[in-house]
Amino acid sequence: MTGTVLRPTERNSGSPAAHALLDVLVGWGIRRVFCCPGSTEAAFLDAVVERSGEVELVLTTHESVAVAMADGAARVTGQPQVAYLHTNVGLANGVAHLTAAQLGNAPVLVLNGLKSTALQGRDGFTTVPYPRDLVRQHVKWARQVSSADSLAADVARALRTSVAEPAGPTWIGLPQDVLESTVPVEAAAEARRAVDVPRNRPDRNAVADAARLLGGATRPVLVAGGDVARHGAVDALVTLAERLGATVLGEDRRGFQRTAFPTAHHRFAGWYAATHPAVVGADLVFFVGCRVFTEFEAPAGDEFPRHATVVHAHVDPTEVGRLYPVHRGLVGHLGAVLDDLLAVLPPGPPTGPRGEPVRGGAAPPSAGNPAGQSAANPAGRPGFPGHVGLGPVVAALVDGLGTDATVVLDATTATPALLSALPQHRSDQVLLSSSGSLGWGTGAALGVRLARPGQPVVAVLGDGSFQFGIQALWTAAHYRIPVTFVVLNNGSYSAVGSALHRFGGAARRTGRWPGTDISGPRIAEIAAGFGVPATRVTGPADLAAALRAVRDTAGPALVEVLTGPGRQADPDFSPRDGDGADAPSGRYLDPDFPRRDGGDAGAPS
């Protein structure tokens, strides 16, 4: 990242401050700005015209998409990315996905075009008294620039802060008068210079103690968290697992952000849960680069392995011992932690394998499915139906995707089945957000693809998430970004249905599930309307073929697969034959109108 040579530029017009801002971004190696602009950003946009050989604008039609794209690109590069949002309303629209960037430790700089300082003081159009308050819980640092003189330094500080560990988002408010200031201003050399992020090493004595504990354990379990991948330390963790003969588990799925261990490795044995046989039988559990834990609800029982010696390594000291005391904490960059551990553990080949890793256990819980039910077969009756037949669909999906694709998941109730089934050979092969912010995956996948030219990228979405992230289809089509979107359409908010089922009240008694029926949209048709070639298939038999058919498409593609239990699985339900100007078929004029389900509103009279 260092050593970028800045090209001299001619500045015939425009705002010196906007050019100083671009100097900083270009000096940091930032070549794209993800943006949903308004009038306050004119000086920046105009400067981009003059600097079009250096930096490009990636236009989005909703701020949430800009944030998710920056997040996706930041996750897979580790480099800072910029989302440029418009005023208070644009910032608000970006906040939900910013929580994903925060939890994913993505170095996303949010530049926020604000109205002029004078207009802010007059409570003018699209101003808010304290814009910083909208975002400060989700960023490491937030500052409204007070003058053109400090702009470059403020932006550079935000970039340094974003990439410093633990990495995360920052926010810079850019008032229009500051951006359009005609006062000559230059970005100082130090503002333009990207920095190497120093790797903080763990305490030497702590390493020695952890090595002693690890070396003395007879049934050790390593829990691989996303930061192992983020810090480029997967190989080191593999080495450690092999040297210890340890069972390796992926982190609790509710906190899963990214693939951190090859799931086909012979020491990998599934996903962390307190009830996993390896955990039950362990005498030591080493949590490496994961949060302990991202809980879906306050634990009723013991999620923490109290019977075992617990070691926890994390780059963020506040994460070590946050909810539970541990016997040994290691604070540091995980590359340094693992290197240091390997250096003091007995070298060379393992002293002898301790047998096969301990496998087994039920599907662990995940957000939206906290009881760990199989989504395809929820316990109890009458039960919310969820994704009927999801198992074969997942199998067809894995078959059709091949083994190379990077998969971005945003399909709430299907996530456990997908995480278990998807090939995960390398770092970051599966990406997921633990934020609960639906729609993140659509934009994130586009950002991943732009950051990884030539890499196949697939986003697997639920139909609920599809609607939340729908505007990303515009950007996908406009720039012909070759991402394949797979939408598992079960026509429902099945996480809500599952929650109602667990609640065990009137909904379960009557079989009426308010707030769950989101059937209706013909998703492939909507995507085609956006300019994304799209296919609807009605079941697993056609899914793999449809995926193979689009695998080498030069632009985006979408495959909708009907997985739901209701009318959408009706075999005679097919896309209509008319053109876009016709009324849709009477199927949508529901005969049981005005009351679709238990509590939804009736017809307006």
Q: Integer distance in angstroms from the first to the last C-alpha of the chain?
A: 63
Map the footprint of a copy of itself across residues 129-168, applying CB under 8 A.
129-130, 133-134, 136-138
Q: How far is the CB of 465 from a copy of itself (least distance, A)?
A: 10
**Alpha carbon distance 528, 175 (integer Å):** 39
The single-letter DSSP state of residue 539 is S
Burial of 305 (0-12, 13-18, 19+ CB in 10 A): buried
Query: Residue 605, interface with a copy of itself (CB under 8 A)?
Result: yes
The single-letter DSSP state of residue 319 is G
Map the footprint of a copy of itself across residues 173-232, applying CB under 8 A.
176, 180
Q: How far is the CB of 482 from a copy of itself (least distance, A)?
A: 7
Tell me the residue ranges of DSSP E strands in 511-564.
534-537, 557-562
Q: How far is the CB of 403 from a copy of itself (least distance, A)?
A: 21
Query: Residue 468, interface with a copy of itself (CB under 8 A)?
Result: yes
Decide if 391 contacts 414 (C-beta within 8 A): no
Site map 359..378 versus a copy of itself, x via CB under 8 A: --------xx----------
**Applying CB under 8 A, which part among 233-241, 243-251, 356-364, 469-477 lies near a copy of itself?**
469-477
**Applying CB under 8 A, which part among 199-207, 262-270, 416-424, 587-595 lies near a copy of itself?**
587-595
In 3-state terms, what secondary structure has residue 366?
A: strand
User: Which CB, 77 or 263, lies closer to a copy of itself?
Assistant: 77
The DSSP H or E segment spanning 111 is strand 108-114
Query: Residue 297, interface with a copy of itself (CB under 8 A)?
Result: yes
**Applying CB under 8 A, which part among 120-128, 208-216, 277-285, 328-336 lies near a copy of itself?**
120-128
Please report the DSSP string for 518-584 in residue order: -----HHHHHHHHT--EEEESSHHHHHHHHHHHTT-SS-EEEEEE--SSGGG-TT----SS-TTSPP
Q: How far is the CB of 159 from a copy of itself (least distance, A)?
A: 20
**Alpha carbon distance 156, 175 (integer Å):** 17
Decide if 469 contacts 527 (C-beta within 8 A): no
**Count of residues that bind a copy of itself according to CB under 8 A:** 144
Query: Residue 534, interface with a copy of itself (CB under 8 A)?
Result: yes
The single-letter DSSP state of residue 318 is G
Query: Residue 312, interface with a copy of itself (CB under 8 A)?
Result: no
Decide if 109 contacts 141 (C-beta within 8 A): no
Interacting residues of 72 by C-beta distance below 8 A, sequence separation 6+: 408, 431, 443, 444, 445, 446, 447, 448, 451
Query: Residue 563, interface with a copy of itself (CB under 8 A)?
Result: no
Residue with tokens 């425009």: 14
**Applying CB under 8 A, which part among 165-173, 222-230, 294-302, 564-572 lies near a copy of itself?**
294-302
Decide if 209 contacts 328 (C-beta within 8 A): yes
Query: Residue 118, interface with a copy of itself (CB under 8 A)?
Result: yes
Query: Residue 506, interface with a copy of itself (CB under 8 A)?
Result: yes
Query: Residue 325, interface with a copy of itself (CB under 8 A)?
Result: no
Altogether, the residues listed in the chain come to a count of 605
- Using CB under 8 A, which of 119, 195, 395, 545 touches a copy of itself? 119
User: Which CB, 147 or 239, lies closer to a copy of itself?
Assistant: 147
Map the footprint of a copy of itself across residues 274-293, applying CB under 8 A.
none
In 3-state terms, what secondary structure has residue 35?
A: strand
Query: Residue 126, interface with a copy of itself (CB under 8 A)?
Result: yes
Map the footprint of a copy of itself across residues 391-450, applying CB under 8 A.
434-438, 449-450
